[in-house]
Chains A and B, each alone.
Chain A
């Protein structure tokens, strides 16, 4: 059964990862382009300059194509919680379902109602109503992101709830603690503003291609001004919220932080790896150096994680062994893996006999079990793990994804500064004429880099929290549905083929639309 179970777990994880990755290919552009279009249409509304209307409509076409496939991949994600993660759906459905329902009621209806006006309402409603509809569509997308990220954050930092042994599930006790947890807030801001940065890069990159072809210069300048500013503001806010995210992760998911840094043994004033190549021979407990090569910044990680240059950051082995008594600013008690497992066992034992005590109405025993559950429940998940190694995520994938994300994030900051300088203070940029073509190519290449950066962020967030579906409470292998590996494997491949086919169509349409429209005059509105 064990092997079979692992297969189902792996295929279920693979299917969810596949769907989430495809979904995230389209969502950030919807989030950011919605804002960019909103700004463009606002300028048109205020100036009544038809050129801005033409520019708005150009980007709106791309928004529509991208939006549809984002919707298509999104529905699967919501229902996969039920189809593939049946135990999970019961264990935390009382908390996790609420954000999903709120997302539907508040956000999806807003998006789906007003997007119809946005595309088909130009001649049916007033310009003011149309502008409001465009902003409401963008707002709906952002509200949708907010609630799904609140749900995701709760899985990483379960709060505002208590375990009910009679129903065998976690139940919500504080809605605002769930909705406004520090993990949720940093995640929402980090994700949404990074989507602005990606969309800014998309707009600038597409314009770069058009300029390379010598088409619609004025339209490109208009677009790049809006895209550049939205992208720049986005990346600045992403950096600020990234800092908050790091502190939150350090506090609530120290193992994830350790994996992000490839840190096995931590210390006060821990340095941060600016660049490094991991040593493949390094395993937990052996004496190999974790890095073949690394460039580190002294006190960097300590400052990043604790906002104190001398703060203590535990490594993977420290967390397993429960080292780190001098931890500064950390919520995790320095309990070893074995100790946490022991605590979890106490909770598990109390849970197993709680209902018997309830039936026999033994109030003394009942009170004792209740107390044991309350004191030890937060370590329940460890009882499902056999070895300490199981509590460690994939270090290379987390480490390289994190460093790639940070590097490209830094590059994007520089990129948007240069773009804005070229647009507003071109004389300040030396060699702008000489390297013009190179600049256009750089703008084009920035599009895939921004996508990879965005995807890397999610890999860090999701791979880094393994093996937990719900941090410390429920590992993946306990969260699944009663399915055979073959069933999930079949649907995995069906979705892989379908999503890939749709992605091909999506990219092809977007490229064709850009190419076709760039040959027309984008300073005037197309009429029939």
Chain B
């Protein structure tokens, strides 16, 4: 296997992990609805989400670890550079991790409402800021990279003085972030419809679905329009980088198969939402919209990294922009990691199998009432 092939392959793996992460953000979307939900029905929603939160969490951690292993220069540049952005994301996930386990436990010191507020914070901050972070990959960020600086004990990746705050303040990035947020809420409603057997919850979630999906579709169209009209950084045969207008549009046109995947994904998402709204008895919307989401996100990653494109453009020094060629691990490491990646389908298979087994019977009020203290959140 050539080094180029391995770099492409690992970008594909990253796109799969990134896409699965965005899909799994329905946990966060669901959390953002908890405080507005009638307290009588809240335990159903919390317990439904509580049996999945660790999968989202693990996907995020694995996404980070895999990025570190395959494209360490991104890890080094983005995490240390956009410090506040990443710290806020991490902070929101730290408070999530304990909130489920502690919220109803005796002696939890701060009370259930406090932990529900933590879930709300993670539910909003997590998707919005992860969206902001990904948007930076499209629209560019303020950094420079000079690897030789390590010799005189200087830092190879330099960033603008606001260290990620400027990314949070950018309207384009925020547009992207809120699009992800409303997508996560949309999929959360579809998940609840699928996972909870309760008439009242079904009714309220169909209502939520129409509201959130409406906003999501508008934001998605706006984001696509902005991306297609934005410039991107192209790398020529000599490795020289330059800004090119409509770069992402050109990428879609140059790589027709990516466009097809995008369109297929969009159709599946719309079908999942539309049929769920029209047929209240239909519970499979999450699988259609979820698969569609995975396809859309993967296609976005592909236009970011393939076709001689810099997936992390630098607005300060275009030659510092990161590509899958200049930021990847060595041939040996990518090869070794590729063997490990062969286990990914096996991992996905056992997750799907366990998920199916656990969700064979849908969650009901009765199950919550009959469960022991340790079996409910």
Contact = CB atoms under 8 A, between A and B. Distances in A.
Interface of A: 57, 60-61, 64-65, 67-69, 71-76, 78-79, 81-91, 93-98, 100-106, 108-117, 119-122, 124-125, 129, 164, 167-169, 171-173, 175, 348, 351-352, 355, 384, 477-478, 480-483, 487, 491, 494, 498, 501-502, 504-506, 508-509, 511-513, 516, 526-528
Place the interface of chain B in its size category. 35 or more
A487 B165 CA distance: 12
B54 A116 contact: yes
A478 B55 CA distance: 36
Contacts of A481: 79-81, 83, 155, 157
Most buried by B among A91, A95, A97, A114: A97
B202 interface: no
Contact of A509 (B107, B332, B347, B372): B107
A509 B108 contact: yes
Contact of B150 (A73, A103, A116, A168): A168
Given A75-B61, A76-B90, A487 B354 contact: no
Contact of A94 (B90, B97, B329): B329
Contacts of B54: 71, 111-112, 115-116
A72 B106 CA distance: 20
Contacts of B110: 501, 505
Nearest to B161: A484
Contact of B147 (A105, A167, A505, A526): A167
A171 B68 contact: no
Interface in B330-377: 330, 332-333, 336-337, 340-341, 343-344, 347, 350-351, 354, 357-358, 360-361, 369-375
A171 B333 contact: yes
Interface in B100-120: 100-102, 105-110
A508 B62 contact: no
Contact of A104 (B62, B77, B159): B62
Contacts of A114: 354
B330 A498 contact: no
A82 B330 contact: no
A491 B102 CA distance: 24
Contacts of A103: 65
B68 A505 contact: no
B45 to A, nearest CB: 15
A494 B91 contact: yes
Interface string B199-241: 0000000000000000000000000000000000000000000
Nearest to B374: A61
Nearest to A114: B354
Most buried by A among B66, B83, B340, B369: B83
A528 B367 CA distance: 11
A501 B286 CA distance: 37
Interface string B63-90: 1111111101101111111011011001
Contact of B79 (A89, A94, A348, A528): A89
Q: B-side binding surface: helix, strand, loop or mixed? A: helix
A164 B333 CA distance: 13
A495 to B, nearest CB: 8
Contact of B105 (A119, A124, A512): A512
Most buried by A among B55, B65, B87, B158: B65
A291 B170 CA distance: 61
A86 B370 CA distance: 50
Nearest to B339: A175
Nearest to A480: B155
Contacts of B357: 117, 121, 124-125, 129
A121 B358 CA distance: 7
A505 B333 contact: no
3 closest A-B pairs (Cβ-Cβ)?
A: A93-B72, A82-B79, A512-B107
Contacts of A169: 72, 147
A112 B55 contact: yes
B156 interface: yes
A518 to B, nearest CB: 13
29 contacts: A60-B374, A61-B373, A67-B101, A76-B94, A79-B86, A86-B77, A86-B80, A89-B76, A90-B73, A93-B72, A97-B68, A98-B329, A98-B340, A100-B64, A100-B69, A101-B62, A105-B65, A116-B358, A168-B156, A352-B151, A478-B153, A482-B157, A482-B159, A494-B91, A504-B109, A506-B98, A508-B107, A509-B107, A527-B372
B105 A69 contact: no
Contacts of A109: 55, 58, 62, 347, 351
A121 B341 CA distance: 29
Most buried by B among A348, A482, A512, A527: A482
A59 to B, nearest CB: 11
Contacts of A119: 374-375
B369 A117 contact: no
B288 interface: no
Contacts of A120: 51, 358, 375
Contacts of A124: 357-358, 360-361
Interface of B: 51-52, 54-55, 57-58, 60-70, 72-73, 75-81, 83-84, 86-87, 90-91, 93-98, 100-102, 105-110, 147-148, 150-151, 153, 155-159, 163, 329-330, 332-333, 336-337, 340-341, 343-344, 347, 350-351, 354, 357-358, 360-361, 369-375
Nearest to B105: A509
A82 B85 CA distance: 13
Contacts of A483: 80, 83, 163
A482 B151 contact: no
Contacts of B370: 528
Contacts of A81: 68, 75, 79
A418 B333 CA distance: 50
A172 B328 CA distance: 13
Contacts of B93: 72, 75
A175 B151 contact: no
Contacts of B329: 93-94, 97-98, 171
Contact of B68 (A73, A101, A175, A487): A101
Contacts of B375: 119-120, 122
B360 A105 contact: no
Most buried by B among A102, A348, A526: A102
Contacts of A61: 373-374
A71 B87 CA distance: 16
A322 B62 CA distance: 44
Given A89-B72, A97-B72, A82 B101 contact: no
B158 A172 contact: no
Given A83-B87, A89-B80, A352-B151, A100 B68 contact: yes
Given A64-B101, A95-B333, A487-B83, A477 B107 contact: no
A171 B147 contact: no
Contacts of A105: 62, 65-66, 340-341, 343-344, 347
A477 B153 contact: yes
A486 B215 CA distance: 39
B58 A112 contact: yes
Contacts of B72: 89-90, 93-94, 97, 169
Contact of B351 (A69, A87, A98, A113): A113
A139 to B, nearest CB: 13
Contacts of A96: 68
